Structures are given as structure tokens and as C-alpha cells.
Amino acid sequence: MRRALRAAALLLAVATLAFAAIHAAPGAPFQPADGRALDPVAAAGLRARFALDAPLPVQYARWLAAAVQGDLGESFSRQRPVRDVLAAALPHSLLLAAAALLVDLLVGIALGAWQAAHAGSRGDRVLSAFTMSVQAVPVFWLGLVLVLVFAQWWHWLPVGGATDPVTHDLLTAAGRWLDRLRHLALPALTLGLAGAAGTARFVRGAMRDAWHEDHVRTARAMGVPERTILLRHVLRDAWLPLATLVGLAIPGLIGGAVLVETVFSWPGIGRVATDAILARDHPLVVGTALVSAAAVVLGGLVGDLLAAWADPRVRRSA
Amino acid sequence: MSAAAPAPRVRHADRAALGVLAGLVLAALLAPWLAPHGPTDQLDIVGLASQPPSARFWLGTDAVSRDVLSRVLHGARVSLAVGAFGTLVALVLGAGIGLVAGWSGGRTDALLMGLVDTGLAVPRVLLVLAVVAVTGGLGTGGLVLLLGATGWFGIARLVRGQVRSLRTRAFVEAARTMGAPVPWIVRHHLLPHLATPLLVAATLGMGQMMLLEAGVSFLGVGVRPPAASWGNMIADGRATLATAPWVSLFPGLAIVGSVLALTVISEGMRRRLDPRETA
């Protein structure tokens, strides 16, 4: 309950800040990009249409009342309700985020666990150097390199977009799925690999820490096979910090998604946010800010729940 | 955290990283003399556009016939300077706010740390984009301030934690009992203890700062063309990725090299300073 209140307070703060910041900005919406003056009559008409001539507190109160009911106003630049724009983009973002998180965790845990089990070996050191290098790579540049190799040189995968603009509607149901998967592969791989490097380093550290715990030493002294120790005790212990990591990974995932969605022309929230900011589309900016904040809050919540579930002490008391 | 790799190899990597970083800094400082051409010179837009790397153009030329090597060298000045000064701003802000929070405790502490938690939870790219949108575009100086102003949260938390534990140490309590003024205690007892962890964090932070600068410049809201930064060079090369990939590849490699060097140096310092790691 306290958590829910805090989450709501955070969302309200983000919304208020975004609303205030965007209205304090110099420059006005509806301004033609080439610097020509806008016809004053037309401007007044537009301002009246979007209720921009009311005093700011009134605008804020109206906007807030509407927002609580799920109405976030109308996007200036797309001339559609903000809710519809976000609703169209959100599934794409969730799909990309889920796929990327899957790659992140699968690759990250596999690498980290292998490294922890072979700590100090040549392979471990090579992989450590590798994950450290991947963390130094700008995620958008990684995306471009993958595009270059897999799309431009080898023509295995499409360059960008979520579906094929020409053939998608003509395909069979199975063909459409395949088309989606092929479009998803590179962006998910880019975002996932960037995160996997951090996850691998984290898992390796957490498992090495668990290695020296008393119950692991006891199990080893009792002659439990190394493999069982690794899976049943060490990985189990490392699971708790890992659960928290998932929550912490969410902001990075969203930030990375902004860049990756731009590289791959992926029609998600990140691109909507970038476009809205560049177009000074106030309602849409506030809308995307709210969605991102909600994602961050939810991510933290999911991380806590996972941690609670992973920790028998908490699980029993809950 | 992680077990230390055998000592000799680590020193090797540290030395290599220091060498890479020193080379990059030198390249940045000497760019006007090292670069064969000016960073914005269009040599021959018809005959010399999108030339692959060759003996004449070591890293090739871009779509408007500018020499990529010269631009990478000049870009080093912008990218490294933005990273270094942005980190400096973050360091000053983070250390100051962390000191205040850790020293005063109570409500001030709770409020400031709440701010830090919120700041850490918000994706920085979005924060920077939003401020750029609000201000309607920034110069490079403004960008440095902005990157610093969104990059101090982690440092503040680090300093706050250290200060909270230092505060209860005997030498600090003794100084307080004797009536030493707080600024004096900060200067003579706190800052010396904070210097090394701050240096480690700042080295790592500078790499992150450079990645962020590259990201926002790539999105077109960071360092503005025609000034060359590694990030906006990558964006420049995107249009000709299929035909002239070297335009995007080399500035990207420069970023990877610098960030990796900074990370290795930071790790090396941390390992050397942490007694548990050397055991």
C-alpha cells in the first residue's frame, strides 16, 4: 500500500514536472519549421482548439482531471489522441523490451555462470575482457554494425521497421509471424547484448560471493557433486541479487530503447518520445514521460517481487 | 566482487589502457597539427566523396569528401573535453550534495537521497532529451553543464555513504568536540578520505558521460554539426552505411577505445586500492 502511494506520487511528480517544463519552454507549438511567421488568426484558432488560451493553472487542472480518466489530450503533431498514439506504440516497445530482456538474461546468466564455475581460467579472463569491451560500445553503434553485417552485407535480416511495409499484409498468418520475428531479431539482439555484458559481470560476481558461503563449503565437504552445488546452491544464492538487477535494468532498457528504436526505425515509445520532443508536441511529450515513469516504477516493483519470491525468509513472512 | 586475475596480466592491461588514453589525449591536443586536413574541409565533393581507406586517406572520406581521419582527430577534442568537463561538473555537484546529505542526516538527507533515487531511476537519455527540448537547443558549454547536472546522482550516493561512516570515526568526532568548524573538518578529514573513491568513480563516470554524449549527438540534439564529435560523425555516416561504412565505423571504434581504456584504468585503481582484492 505504501509502495503504491509512493508510486502514484512519483507519477504525479513526473507529470507535473513534464507539464511545467514543457510550458516554460521558449518557442511555441504550431510554429512552421522554416521560421516563417504563423498567421495570427490561424494561431489563435489553433490555440483555442487545443485550449491553450486558458491560464496555466486552469490548463494544468483540466489536464490532470482528464489524465486521471485516461485522457491525455490530443497530440499536436499527429492530430490524434495521445492515448491512441501511445497505445499504438506501446505493444512494439513491450515486445522489444521483453525480447531484449530475454536475450540479456539468457546470455548474461549463461556467460556469468560459466565464468564463475571456471573462475581464473583462460576462458574466464577472455570473457571478462569481452564483456568489459561490450560495455564500452555505444548501443546505437552496435546496432549499426549489426545492420551492416546482417542486413547490408549478408542480407539475412531486414534493415529496420517492425514489419515489411510491402509484403506483410499479403503473407499468411505463419508468414506474418516470421516477418515480425525477422524484424525483431536485430533490435532485440542489440539491446539484449548490451545488457547481457553487465548481467554476466554481475552474475559472475554474485556467484563468486556465494561460492564462499558456509553452506556451499559444507555441501562440498559432504561430497555433493560440483554440478549440483553450482545449480542448487550457488545459482540459487545469486538469484536474489539478480532479481534486484532486473528492476534496475529497466531504466537502462528504456534509455537504450530510445537509441535502438531510432537506429532500427522501430515504432515504439522511444521513437514517439524523440519525435514528440523534436516537434514540441507538449501533450505527447508528457504522455511518453508518464509511460516511461510508469515503466520505471513497475520495473522496480517487479524487481522487489522477484527478490521477495527468491528469498525464502521474505516469502514465508509475506 | 570479482576475484582478481593474476597480477602481472592486470598490470599489463592497465599499462595498455593508460597508453591508449594518453595517445587519445595527445591526439586531441595536437589535432590541428596531426590532422592532414581541416575537419570541415570538403576536399573535392565530386571526385573524392566516400573514398575507402587508402594510403592518401587512411580512414577514407565521407559523403561530402571530408577526411575521416582529420574529423576523428578533431572529434577527439570535442568528445574527450565534453566527457572530462561534464564529469567535473558531476563530481562537484555530487560531492557537494553528498557531503550535505551525509553530514546533516535527518530530513535533509532523506529529501536529497529521495531526489537521488528518482534521478537514478529516470533514463538519462530521456532526461537530456527533455531538457534540450525545453531549452530549444544547447551550445557545447550548455551540453557539458547538462550532462554534469544529470550525472551526479551516483556520486552523491557514494559520497553520502562514505561521509555517514566517516562522521562516526574517532578523529572526526575528536575534531568536532574540539570545536573545529565544519568546513575545516571537510577539508582536512573528509576530502582526503573521499579523494580515491571519487577518482575511481569519476574515471568510470567519464566513460559513461562519453557514451551519453555520443548517444544524444547521434540523435541530433548533442554536439551540433558541422563541429565534429564522434557521436554526430556516426550519425553522419548512417546514410551511407551500405556504401561507405568507414565513416561510421572509425568514430565508433574511437569511442569504444576511450571508454574501454577509462573502464580498465578505473578497475585497476579500484583493485589496487581495495585491500580485499589484492589478497
> What is residue A10's predicted lDDT score, i.e. its pLDDT?
73
Nearest CA to B35 out of B73, B68, B79, B81 is that of B73
| pLDDT of residue B264 exceeding 80 | yes
> What is residue B8's predicted lDDT score, i.e. its pLDDT?
44
Report pLDDT digits (tens) over A95-110: 999 999 999 999 998 9
Query: Which of B2, B120, B230, B240 is the best residue to mutate to test the A interface, defined by the most A CB atoms within 10 Å of its own CB?
Result: B2
- Share above pLDDT 90 across residues of chain B, in percent, rounded to a whole number: 29
Between chains, do A145 and B238 touch, taking CB under 8 Å as contact? Answer: no
> What is residue B105's predicted lDDT score, i.e. its pLDDT?
84
Report pLDDT digits (tens) over A226-273: 778 877 777 777 777 777 777 767 777 888 888 999 889 899 988 888
- CATH 2.60.120.380 assigned to domain B12-31+65-273? The reply is no
> What is residue B95's predicted lDDT score, i.e. its pLDDT?
94
Grid coordinates representing A202 are 554481475
Long-range pairs of B227-232 with CB within 8 A, sequence gap ≥ 24: B227/B39, B227/B78, B227/B140, B228/B39, B228/B40, B228/B71, B228/B72, B228/B74, B228/B75, B228/B78, B229/B75, B229/B78, B229/B79, B229/B82, B230/B72, B230/B75, B230/B76, B230/B78, B230/B79, B230/B254, B230/B255, B231/A138, B231/B79, B231/B255
Separation in Å, CA of A296 to nearest CA in chain B:
6
> What is residue B136's predicted lDDT score, i.e. its pLDDT?
67
Q: Which residue has the higher pLDDT, B231 or A292?
A: B231
Per-domain residue ranges of chain A: 2-68, 86-317
The secondary structure element, H or E, covering residue B164 is helix B153-167
Ranges of chain A whose pLDDT falls below 70: 1-4, 18, 21-38, 42-44, 46-54, 248, 312-318
> What is residue A52's predicted lDDT score, i.e. its pLDDT?
65
Between chains, do A258 and B241 touch, taking CB under 8 Å as contact? Answer: no
> What is residue A113's predicted lDDT score, i.e. its pLDDT?
86
SS3 A55: coil
> What is residue A12's predicted lDDT score, i.e. its pLDDT?
78
A75 Cβ partners below 8 Å, 6+ apart? A81, A82, A85, A276, A281, A283, A284, A287
> What is residue A159's predicted lDDT score, i.e. its pLDDT?
80
Q: Which residues of B touch A252 (CB under 8 A)?
A: 123
Residue A289 corresponds to which amino acid?
A: A
Report pLDDT digits (tens) over B134-162: 776 678 888 899 999 999 999 999 999 99
| pLDDT of residue B7 exceeding 70 | no
Q: Which residues of B touch A208 (CB under 8 A)?
A: 1-3
Q: Which residues of B touch A145 (CB under 8 A)?
A: 249, 252
Residue whose C-alpha cell reads 548517444 in the numeric block: B215
Residue whose C-alpha cell reads 546496432 in the numeric block: A143
Q: Which residues of B touch A258 (CB under 8 A)?
A: 123, 125-126, 129, 219
Between chains, do B134 and A24 touch, taking CB under 8 Å as contact? Answer: yes
Residues of B numbered 122-181 whose beta carbons fall under 8 angstroms of chain A's beta carbons: which are they? 122-126, 129-136
Q: Does ipTM top 0.90?
A: no
Residue A137 CA to residue A153 CA, distance in Å, equals 21
Separation in Å, CA of A25 to nearest CA in chain B:
5
> What is residue A54's predicted lDDT score, i.e. its pLDDT?
67
Separation in Å, CA of B87 to nearest CA in chain A:
17
How many residue pairs from chains A and B have C-beta atoms closer than 8 A?
134
Report pLDDT digits (tens) over B163-202: 998 888 888 888 888 988 888 988 888 888 898 889 999 9
Q: Identify the CATH homologous superfamily for domain A86-317.
A: MetI-like (1.10.3720.10)
Under 8 Å between Cβ of B240 and B153 = no
Positive or negative torsion for Cα B164, B168, B172, B173:
positive
Between chains, do A277 and B241 touch, taking CB under 8 Å as contact? Answer: no
Under 8 Å between Cβ of B241 and A147 = yes
